[in-house]
C-alpha cells in the first residue's frame, strides 16, 4: 500500500480486545504475572508498554526498519544510541547539527574519551578522506539544522561500510514521508518526535529505528537499561500525530515554498536556504533523495543583528520560539536560541551568523505567511 495509507493502518490494527479503532492508553507501571516470570509479554513499564509498542511498531514500519524504539526526547534517543560506543570509539559526525546534538557529542568527547570529528559530510572529498580510516559510527542530519544542507546518504553509507562504521541518520526534518534513510542503506534512524511526527507542539519525544534484528535487540536492551522512555500518554499523542503526517507535510511544504520564493530576491535578504529552490546548491540531490522538500526555510538577512531583531519583532503570525514542525509557524534565531550552546567561532565558521533566521512554516494559509514575512521585511 502507499505511504499515506500505511501511515494510518500499518501496525495499528483495532484493539484486539474491544475493537477500539484507537489504541488504548495503558496507564500501568506493572503487569501481573500468572507465575514467576510467566507473563503476556509485558512486565514493567520501563521495559515495555502496550501503547508504546503500537507506536514503536508503526515507526518501524514507516521507516522500513526491523524495530522501533520510543524515547522521552530526541536527545534521550541519542544518549541511548551513544551508550553503544565505548571510550576509544571513533565517531564521524556532520558539522551542521542540531545544537543539542553537537553539545551531547562534545560532552561524550570530553567526558568519556570518545573520538568525535565534525566534518562536512556534504563534501564527497571530505567523506572519502575521513572514512579512509576505520570508524565506528557516522552520524548525520539531512537536511541539516539550521542551514538545510544535504548529505548524500547512499554515498556516505558506501564509504562507511568500507570503514567498518554503522550509519545513523537524524531524519527529524524530512520525516519518513519525504525520505527513508534505511532504504538508502542507513543502519539507524533517529527522530525527535517532538517535531513533525508529533506535529502539534504538545509533547517532547524521540525514537530510534533499527534496520537489523541484532541491533534492534541490543538497543531494546539499552532502552530498558538507560530508561529514557516516554509515558504511555505521550506515546499515544505521537501516534495521533503520525496519522496526519502525510497531509501535514504537504501543507508545510506548500507554505515553505511560498515563503522561500517570497524571500528570494527581496533586497533585505542575502540568502535563502531551502532545498526546493533551484538556487539551492544541492537541489538535484534533494530531488533524487527526497520525495519533497519539507517545511523549514532558513534565511540570512542583510545588515547583521539589528535588522534581524527588527524582523523578528515585526512578525505577527510566526511565533518567536524554539522548536519546529508543529501546525503553527515558528521562527528561531539560531545564534542566540537553538544554537547558543555552539561556541561562537564554531558557529560562525559554519555559517550560523547573527543574520540567520530559521522559519518553521506551519499549516496556516500560505498567503498569510507570505504577507507576514513581506510585512516584517518592509523598509529593510
| Site residues, ligand PLP (CB under 6 A) | 73-75, 98, 100-101, 141, 145, 170, 172-173, 192, 194-195, 204, 206
CA–CA gap between residue 188 and residue 336 (Å, rounded): 31
Per-residue CA distances from 366 to 47, 215, 219, 371, 373 (Å): 43, 42, 41, 9, 11
- Is the separation of the CB atoms in 299 and 271 below 8 Å? yes
Q: Note if 316 is an active site residue.
A: no
Residue 52 Cβ vs ligand PLP, minimum distance, rounded to whole Å: 16
Residue 100 Cβ vs ligand PLP, minimum distance, rounded to whole Å: 5
Count of alpha carbons within 13 Å of 290, Cβ hemisphere only? 25
Residue 322 Cβ vs ligand PLP, minimum distance, rounded to whole Å: 8
CA–CA gap between residue 200 and residue 323 (Å, rounded): 11
Helix (H, G, I), strand (E, B) or coil at 168: strand
Q: Which CB sits closer to ligand PLP, 80 or 308?
A: 80
Catalytic residue among 95, 96, 170, 372: 170
Residue 77 Cβ vs ligand PLP, minimum distance, rounded to whole Å: 8
Q: Note if 115 is an active site residue.
A: no
Scanning the chain, the segments in alpha helix (DSSP H) are 3-9, 50-63, 74-82, 99-112, 124-130, 153-163, 175-178, 213-226, 232-242, 245-263, 283-289, 305-314, 344-349, 366-377
Q: Note if 195 is an active site residue.
A: yes
Residue 159 Cβ vs ligand PLP, minimum distance, rounded to whole Å: 22
In the beta sheet, which residues pair with residue 89? none
CA–CA gap between residue 357 and residue 39 (Å, rounded): 52
Q: Note if 110 is an active site residue.
A: no
Q: Which CB sits closer to ligand PLP, 50 or 76?
A: 76
Chain residue whose CB lies nearest ligand PLP: 74
Active site residues: 46, 98, 170, 195
Amino acid at each position: 500500500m502507499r505511504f499515506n495509507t500505511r501511515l494510518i493502518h500499518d501496525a495499528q490494527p483495532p484493539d484486539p480486545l474491544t475493537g477500539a479503532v484507537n489504541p488504548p492508553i495503558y496507564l500501568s507501571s506493572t503487569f501481573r504475572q500468572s507465575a514467576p516470570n510467566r507473563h503476556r509479554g509485558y512486565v514493567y513499564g520501563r521495559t515495555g508498554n502496550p501503547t508504546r509498542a503500537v507506536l514503536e511498531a508503526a515507526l518501524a514500519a514507516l521507516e522500513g526498519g526491523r524495530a522501533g524504539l520510543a524515547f522521552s526526547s530526541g536527545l534521550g534517543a541519542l544518549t541511548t544510541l551513544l551508550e553503544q560506543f565505548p571510550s576509544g570509539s571513533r565517531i564521524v559526525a556532520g558539522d551542521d547539527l542540531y545544537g543539542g546534538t553537537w553539545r551531547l557529542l562534545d560532552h561524550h568527547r570530553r567526558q568519556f574519551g570518545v573520538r568525535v570529528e565534525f566534518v562536512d559530510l556534504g563534501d564527497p572529498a571530505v567523506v572519502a578522506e575521513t572514512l579512509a580510516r576505520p570508524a565506528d559510527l557516522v552520524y548525520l542530519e539531512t537536511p541539516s539544522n539550521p542551514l538545510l544542507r544535504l548529505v548524500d546518504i547512499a554515498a556516505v553509507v558506501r564509504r562507511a561500510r568500507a570503514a567498518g562504521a554503522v550509519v545513523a541518520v537524524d531524519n527529524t526534518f524530512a520525516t519518513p514521508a519525504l525520505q527513508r534513510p534505511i532504504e538508502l542503506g542507513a543502519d539507524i534512524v533517529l527522530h525527535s518526535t517532538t517535531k513533525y511526527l508529533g506535529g502539534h507542539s504538545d509533547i517532547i519525544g524521540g525514537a530510534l529505528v533499527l534496520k537489523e534484528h541484532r541491533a534492534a535487540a541490543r538497543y531494546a536492551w539499552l532502552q530498558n537499561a538507560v530508561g529514557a522512555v516516554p509515558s504511555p500518554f505521550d506515546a499515544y499523542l505521537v501516534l495521533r500525530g503520525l496519522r496526519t503526517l502525510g497531509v501535514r507535510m504537504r501543507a508545510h511544504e506548500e507554505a515553505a515554498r511560498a515563503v522561500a520564493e517570497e524571500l528570494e530576491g527581496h533586497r533585505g535578504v542575502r540568502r535563502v536556504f531551502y532545498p526546493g529552490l533551484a538556487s539551492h546548491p544541492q537541489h538535484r540531490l534533494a530531488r533524487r533523495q527526497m520525495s519533497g522538500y519539507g517545511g523549514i526555510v532558513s534565511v540570512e538577512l542583510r545588515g547583521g543583528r539589528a535588522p534581524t531583531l527588527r524582523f523578528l519583532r515585526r512578525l505577527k503570525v510566526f511565533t518567536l520560539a524554539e522548536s519546529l514542525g508543529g501546525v503553527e509557524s515558528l521562527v528561531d534565531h539560531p545564534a542566540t536560541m537553538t544554537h547558543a550552546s555552539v561556541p561562537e567561532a564554531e558557529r560562525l565558521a559554519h555559517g550560523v551568523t547573527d543574520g540567520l533566521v530559521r522559519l518553521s512554516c506551519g499549516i496556516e494559509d500560505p498567503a498569510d505567511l507570505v504577507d507576514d514575512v513581506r510585512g516584517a521585511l518592509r523598509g529593510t
